[in-house]
Structure 1
Amino acid sequence: MTSLKKKTVSGLKWSAIERIATQGIQLVVMLILGRMLGPEAFGLIGMLVIFIAIAQIFVDSGFGNALIRKQDRDEKDFSTVFYCNIAVSITCYLLIYFGAPYVSDFYNEPELTSLLRVLGINIIINAISLVQRTKLTIDMDFKKLTKSSLISVFISTLVAFSFAFCGFGVWALIAQRLSSVFSNAILIQILVPWRPKKRFSKSSFDELFGFSSKLLLTSLIDTIYKNIYQIIIGKLFSSVQVGFFAQAKTLSNTPAMTITSIIQRVTYPMLSQMQNDTEKLDAAYLLTLRLSAAVIFPLMIGLALISEPLINVVLGQEWSESVPLMIILCIGYMLYPIHAINLNLLQVKGRSDLLLKIEIVKKIIITLILIITIRYGVKAICIGMLAQSYISLLINTYYTGKLSSLSLFKQVRSLAPIWLVCIAIGSFNYFLSLTLSNDVYKILVMLTSSLVLYILYIRICQKDLYENLLNSIVK
C-alpha cells in the first residue's frame, strides 16, 4: 500500500469517527435541549447564526484551502495566514459587538444584543487554531482532530446541560457553543504546539489570496443564502417559527453534511496531489460520487420516513410543526454530497473563478424562488429549497463536465438506479407504517425493513459498490 493510500485510509477512518461521533452526540444533545428549552430558544439562536457564520468566512478567507492546495507551502505562508486570521477575527468581533443593538431592533427582540455579543467571542477563539487545524488536514492527521473534537463535545455537553438544568434557558445554547470552541482551541494548541516563526509576507499573501479570494466570495454568498431563511422567517413570522424551521433543518441536514464533510476533508488533500493525472482523478471522483450516494440517499429517505414518529417520541407534540418541513428538506438534502463533490473538483482543478460564477448564478435562481414562495409561508419556503437543490445539480454538473469526463449524463446514469430504488423502498415502507399505531414500532419496523431491502439491492445489483463499502467499513 502506497504512503498516500495509507494516509487516505487512516484519514478516512479517523475523519469518519470524528464527524459521526461529534455530530451524533451534538444531535442527541440538541434533541434533549429542544425538549427542555422549547422552540423559542432555538429560534433566537437561529436568528444569530448567520452573523457568526459570515464572520467566520471572513476570518478563514479561503486561506485554509489555498494552503492545502499549494504544493510548495512553507513557514512564511503559515505565519502570514495566522496574522490575517487574528486581525480579521478582531475586526469582525468589533463589528458584531457594536452592531448587535441594530440586530435586536431588526428582529424586535431586545435579548439578542447580549446574546450576539457573547456568542461572537467564538470568532476570535476559533481564529487562534485555524492554522493548526489546516496543518493537520494537510498531513491527513485526523486522529488528533478527532481527539480534540470528541473531548470538546463532551465538555460542552456537560456545560449545556448544567446551564439548562439551572434554568438559564437560551443561555445554555450560548454556553454550549462557547465551551466547545474554547476547549477545542486549547486542545489543538496542546496537540499541535505551533507558533508563527516568520513575519507577515505580502508576496505570500498575494499568492494565496489570488486563489482564496474567489473562495471567500463563493463561501460568503453560499453562507448568506444558507442562512437567509432564518432571517426572513424571523423578520416576517416569529422566533417560534424560526425554531421549528431550524430544528427541521438541523435534523435533515446533519447526516448529509456529516458524511460529506468526512469525504471532503480526506479526498480534497488526497486528490489535490493527483490533480495532474486527469484519467485517475476522474475515476476517483466518480467512485466517490457513487459511494456517497450509496450512503446518503437511503439515509435521507429513511430519515424522512421516520420524521413524524421521531419528533413525537424525542421532542414531543410541541414540535409537531417541524415534521412536514423536515420531510421536504430531507428530500432536498439528498443531493448535498453530490453538489459538494462536484464543486470540490473545481477547487482541485484550481478554478475558483468558476466556483464564484456558479454561486452567483445559483443565488439568482434561489432569490427568484424565495420571492415566489415567501408569501405562502414556511412550508412553501422549504419546497422552494428542495426545488433549488435539483436545479443546482444541473448547474454544478454542467461546469464539472467542462473540466472532466464527469458530465451530467454520466453522473445521472451512475446515480439514478440508487435514487430510484431508495424512493421505491421508501414508498413501500410508508404504506407499511400506516398499519401501525405505535410511534416506536413505526421507527423500528420502517428502519429495519428499509435497511434489509436496500442491502439486498446493493448486494445483488451494485456489487462493486457493496464490496467497496464493505471493505471501507472493515478497514
Structure 2
Amino acid sequence: MPATEHTSMASRAIGAGAWTVGTRLAAKLIDLAMLLCLARLLGPAEFGLVAMAMAAVFIVEALFDLPMAAALIREPALTPDMLHTAFTLSLLRGLIVGLLLLAVSWPLAAFNNEPRLTALLAVLALAPAMRGLVNPRMIEYARALDFRPDAVLELSGKTVAFIASVTIAVTTRSYWAIAAATVCAPLVATLLSYCIAPLRPRLTFIHWKHFSSLIGWNFMSQLGMALNWQIDRLLLPRLTTSTAFGEYAMGKQLAEIPMQALIQPLSRPVMQALASAGHARGSRYLQLSRAIALLMAPVMGLALLWPEVLVRVALGPAWAAAAEWLRWMSAAALLGLPAILMGPLAMTLDRTRWVAVRTLIELLVRLPLVWLGAVQFGIPGAIAGSAIATASGTVAALFIVRRLIETRLAPQLMTLWRPLMAMLPAGALLWLAKPMVMAAPSLPELLVRAVPLGLLYLLVYALLVLLVWRLAGRPAGLERYLLDTIRARFARARARRSPTAARTRAKPNDAMEAHAKQPH
C-alpha cells in the first residue's frame, strides 16, 4: 500500500473512531443523567435486584453472540443474500436468547430466594430479542467508515429510554424503571435502522458458510467473556445483603463506563484499519494501542483517584460506600489495557480461536480465585481475584499478539509509557486537591471546586502528553493527527477569509486599469 494511502486510511480510521467515541460518550452522558435521576429516586436494593437479573441476561446474550459485523466487514463485496442470511441468523439468535432467559427465570429466582426475578427476567428478555431484529444493512455505513447513522440509532434509543425510565421512576419508585430503559433503547434503535437503510429482509441460510468460521470459536470465547464479566454478580448476592450488593454493582457499573464509552465503539473502526493495513499491520496495531492508552489513562485516572467525588456527584451521599469499589475495580481494569486490541486483531485475521484461548485462560484463573475470595473476604476478595485474572489474561494476550503479527512484548508494553509519564504529575494534582473538594458542604459548592480542577487536570495531562511526544521524536500517532487536524482547520479558516480580502484589495486596481483603457 502506498504511504499516502496508508496515511489516509489511518486518518480516516482515527476520524471514524472519533465519531464512534463521541457518540458513545454522548450516550454515556445520557446514561449518567439517567443514573443520577434513578439513584435519587430508587435505593441500592432496587439496583441490586436488577443487577441480579442483568447478570443472567448478559451471560445468556453473550453466550449466543454472533459477530455479524466482523463477518460482513471482512467480505470484499456485500450481496443481498449475505444481508438476508445475517438477518436470519440474528433473528434466530434473538429468539433463542429470549426463550432461554424465560427458561432460567424461575430457577434463578429460587437460587437467589427472590421471586420478583421471574417476571423481571421475562421482561428483560425482550431486549436481546429486539437486538436480534436490527437491520444488517447498517454495516454498509461501517464499511465506508461512516458512523453517523449509528450515532442516530444509539442516541435516539438512549433518549427514549431516559424519558421512559425517569417517568416510571417518578410515578412508581419501582425497579421497573430500570427494566424499561433496558428494553426501550434496542426497540427504538431497531425501528430506526429500517428507516435509515430500507431493507425488506427474508429468511435464508444460503450464505451460512460466510459466518460459520466465526461462530464455533466465538461461542467458546463469548461464554468465557460472559462468565469472566458476570461471575461476581452471580456469586455475591448469595454472600452479601441486597443493599451491599447494590452498592457493589453500582460501583462496578461506573467502573465499566470508560470501557463501554471508549473501547467498545472503537472496535469496528479498529478492525477496518487493521484489515486494510497489509504488511504494516504490526506498526498500525501499536499505533492504535498507543492512541487508546492515551485516551483511557486520564479517564481511568479520575475513577482511580477521585472515586468519592464521582460517586457524590453522580449518585449522591447515600451511595458513598460504592466509591471504594469503584476505585479498586478501576485499578483492576488498568491491568487489561496493554493488550486490549488483541480481540479485534484476531477477528480481523480470522483467528478467533486465539480470543477463545485468552478468554479461557482468564476464566480458569478467575473462577476459583473469585469464588475463594468472595467466600473468605467478601467483596474485597472477589475484586482481588478479578484483578489477578485480568493480569493473567493480559499476559496471555501479549504472547498471542506476538504470534499473530510478530510484534515483540516490549513494544506492546511501551505503548503505555507516554500516557503513564503524563499521568504522574496530572494525577498528583487530583490527589492533592481531593480533600479540598470533598470538604464542600453541598453539591453546587462541590461542582464549583471540582469542575475547574478537573479541567486543569485534563489540560496538564494534554500538555505533558505533547511534551513527551516531542521528546520521543514526534512519531506518527494520535498526537500528530490531532495537531494536523487543528492546523488544517486554521488553514481552511484563513483560506476562507483571504479571497475576500484579495478581492477588496483588487477593486481599486481594477478600476484604475479600466479607466486607463478608456479613450481620451
TM over 0.5: yes
1:215 to 192, 214, 218: 218
Select between 458-467 and 15-24 the one with higher mean Cα deviation.
Answer: 458-467
CA shift at 1:351, angstroms? Answer: 1.1
Does the CA-based 8 Å contact 2:127-2:187 persist in structure 1? Answer: yes
Kept in 2: contact 1:35–1:314 (CA 8 A): no
- The reply on whether 1:453 has 2:466 as its aligned counterpart is no
User: Does structure 1 retain, via aligned residues, the 8 Å contact 2:274–2:281?
Assistant: yes
Structure 1 match to 2:53: 48
Structure 1 residues 184, 337: CA separation in 2 closer, same or farther (over 3 Å shift)? farther
**Separation in 1 of the partners of 2:201 and 2:154?**
23
Partners of 1:391 and 1:305 in 2: CA distance: 24
**What do residues 238-284 of structure 1 show as CA deviations (whole Å, max 9, x unaligned)?**
3222211221112122123311123212121232233xx22x11111
- Report the more deviating stretch, 1-10 or 24-33: 1-10
Q: How does 1:321-400 map to 2 (within 5 A)?
A: 321-374=321-374, 375-400=376-401
Relative to 1, partners in 2 of residues 1:9 and 1:362: Cα closer, same or farther, differing over 3 Å? closer
- Conserved 8 A contact 2:339-2:397: yes
State the 1:29 CA deviation: 1.2
Q: Shift of residue 231 of structure 1?
A: 0.9
**Is contact 1:75-1:198 (8 Å) kept?**
no
Which digits, 9 at most, give the CA deviation of each residue in 1:378-437, with x for residues without a partner? 122223323333332211111101122432211222313422542453245313433552
Give the distance between the partners of 1:78 and 1:57, measured in 2 at CA.
22
For residue 265 of structure 1, the aligned residue among 257, 265, 268 is 268
Structure 1 residue runs of 5 or longer lacking an equivalent are: none
Counterpart of 1:175 in structure 2: which amino acid?
Answer: A
Residue of structure 1 equivalent to 2:510 = none
Relative to structure 1, the CA distance from residue 445 to residue 140 in structure 2 (aligned partners, 3 Å threshold; closer, same or farther) is closer
C-alpha spacing 1:453/1:6, structure 2 compared with 1 (3 Å): closer
How far apart, in 2, do the equivalents of 1:243 and 1:224 lie? 19
Structure 2 residue identity aligned to 1:213: G
1:112, distance to aligned residue in structure 2 (A): 0.8
2:80 is the alignment partner of 1:79: no
Distance 1:179 1:111 in 2: 21
How far is 1:336 from its partner?
4.5
**Residues 149 and 448 from structure 1, CA distance in 2 versus in 1: closer, same or farther, beyond 3 angstroms?**
closer
With over 3 angstroms needed to count, the CA separation of the structure-2 counterparts of 1:35 and 1:172, relative to structure 1, is: same
Structure 2 alignment gaps of length 5 or more:
441-445, 490-520
From the superposition, tell whether residues 339 and 58 of structure 1 become closer, same or farther in structure 2 (CA, over 3 Å). same
- Letter of the 2:81 partner, please give it: K
Question: 1:290·1:415 contact (CA, 8 Å) conserved in 2?
Answer: yes
Match of 2:293?
Answer: 293
Alignment of 1:235 onto 2:238: yes
Q: Secondary structure at the match of 2:132?
A: helix
Once the 2 structures are TM-superposed, how far is the Cα of residue 199 of structure 1 from its aligned partner? 3.0
Structure 2 CA distance for partners of 1:76 and 1:448, relative to 1, 3 Å? closer
For 2:93 and 2:104, locate their aligned partners in 1 and report how far apart those are by CA, in whole Å. Answer: 16
Q: Which residue of 2 aligns with 1:284?
A: 284
Q: Show the 5 A alignment for 1:392-411.
A: 392-411=393-412
TM-superposed CA distance for 1:72, in Å, is: 4.5
Identity in percent: 19
SS at structure 2 position matched to 1:263: helix
Equivalent residues, number? 470
Q: Cα deviations across residues 174-206 of structure 1 (Å, max 9, x unaligned)? A: 1111111111111111111112357322xx323
Name the SS of the counterpart of 1:312 in structure 2. helix
1:213-250: per-residue Cα shift (whole Å, max 9, x none)? Answer: 21232122101220111111112213222211221112
Root-mean-square deviation (CA), in Å? 2.4
Matches within 5 A, 1:51-130: 51-129=56-134
8 Å contact from structure 2 (residues 83, 137) kept in 1: no
Matched residues in 1 for 2:253 and 2:23: separation? Answer: 18
Q: Deviations over 1:356-386 (max 9, x none)?
A: 1121111111123213311201122223323
Structure 2 partner of 1:305: 305
The verdict on how the C-alpha distance between 1:52 and 1:371 changes in structure 2, with shifts beyond 3 A counting, is closer
The corresponding residue for 2:498 is none
CA distance 1:352–1:382, shift in 2 (3 Å): same
Q: Report the counterpart of residue 467 of structure 1 in structure 2.
A: 480
**Which amino acid in structure 2 is aligned with residue 348 of structure 1?**
T
Question: What code does the residue aligned with 1:320 have?
Answer: A
Segment drifting more, 410-419 vs 215-224: 410-419
Deviation, 1:59, is 4.7
Q: Quote the Cα distance in structure 2 between the aligned partners of 1:442 and 1:334.
A: 27
Q: Partners in 1 of 2:378 and 2:204 — Cα distance?
A: 53
In structure 1, C-alpha distance between the alignment counterparts of 2:305 and 2:483, rounded to whole Å: 25
- In 1, Cα distance between equivalents of 2:44 and 2:424: 31
Aligned to 1:416: 417
Q: Which AA in structure 1 matches 2:125?
A: G
Other-structure match for 1:156:
161
- Report the Cα offset of residue 445 of structure 1: 5.8
Kindly tell me: are residues 445 and 369 of structure 1, through their superposed partners in 2, closer, same or farther at Cα, counting changes over 3 Å? farther
Please identify the structure whose Cα radius of gyration is greater.
Answer: 2
Q: Does the 8 Å contact 2:366/2:388 carry over to 1? A: no
The residue aligned with 1:31 is 36
Question: Aligned pair 1:256/2:259, yes or no?
Answer: yes
Q: Is the 8 A contact 1:12 1:262 kept in 2?
A: yes
Structure 2 counterpart of 1:95, one-letter code: L
Secondary structure of 2:415's match?
helix
Distance in 1 between residues matched to 2:419 and 2:149, nearest whole Å: 35
For 2:483 and 2:267, the matched residues in 1 are separated by: 20
**1-structure distance, mates of 2:320, 2:447:** 16
